[in-house]
Amino acid sequence: MTEKNITTKIQVFAYTELTEEDKKLVDMAREATRASYAPYSNYHVGAALVLDNGEYFIGTNQENAAFAGICGERSAIYAAGARFPGVPVRKLAITAAQHGEIVAEPVAPCGVCRQAILEFEKNAPHPIEILLAGRDQVYRLESIASTLPLCFKEF
């Protein structure tokens, strides 16, 4: 038997340490939480992304009584893909709010979202940078693949 260790490099920033583009994405994601429809979980997710062509998109989670909703990350990335097919996503910011307040700790995408974002990353000429924003701290990951180290790679 052998063992392997899997590690993920995460850079931790205070909001004030972010670049202007990163602040813009985090602010857009935070604002997007207000448009979320989450009457069942009361967990409002907002996402914002920028494409290589400079276009910005937001997304929010949308729930329904059949529990067949969509997460904020996928709503943003699918909207971008529908509007600009083949244009790579450069960066994606994700945050969440409860009771009208941004949650304290940075939040990560669910497994379905990780795999969906990975599909866009594998077709891009570069990794998709991920910003996970909490109230005071933002985690920066160089690639969505770092959140899903044993992902489906061959399709």
For 104, residues 6+ apart whose C-beta sits below 8 A from its C-beta are: 134, 135, 136
In the beta sheet, which residues pair with residue 56? 50
Query: Identity (one letter) of the amino acid at 81?
Result: G
Token digits of residue 66: 């059949």
73 is catalytic: yes
User: Quick one: DSSP state of residue 15?
Assistant: G
Q: Tokens standing for 58? A: 């937001």
d(CA 101, CA 3): 42
Backbone angles phi, psi at 21, to 5 degrees: -65, -40
Of the residues 3, 20, 73, 105, which is catalytic? 73
Catalytic residues, which ones?
A: 73
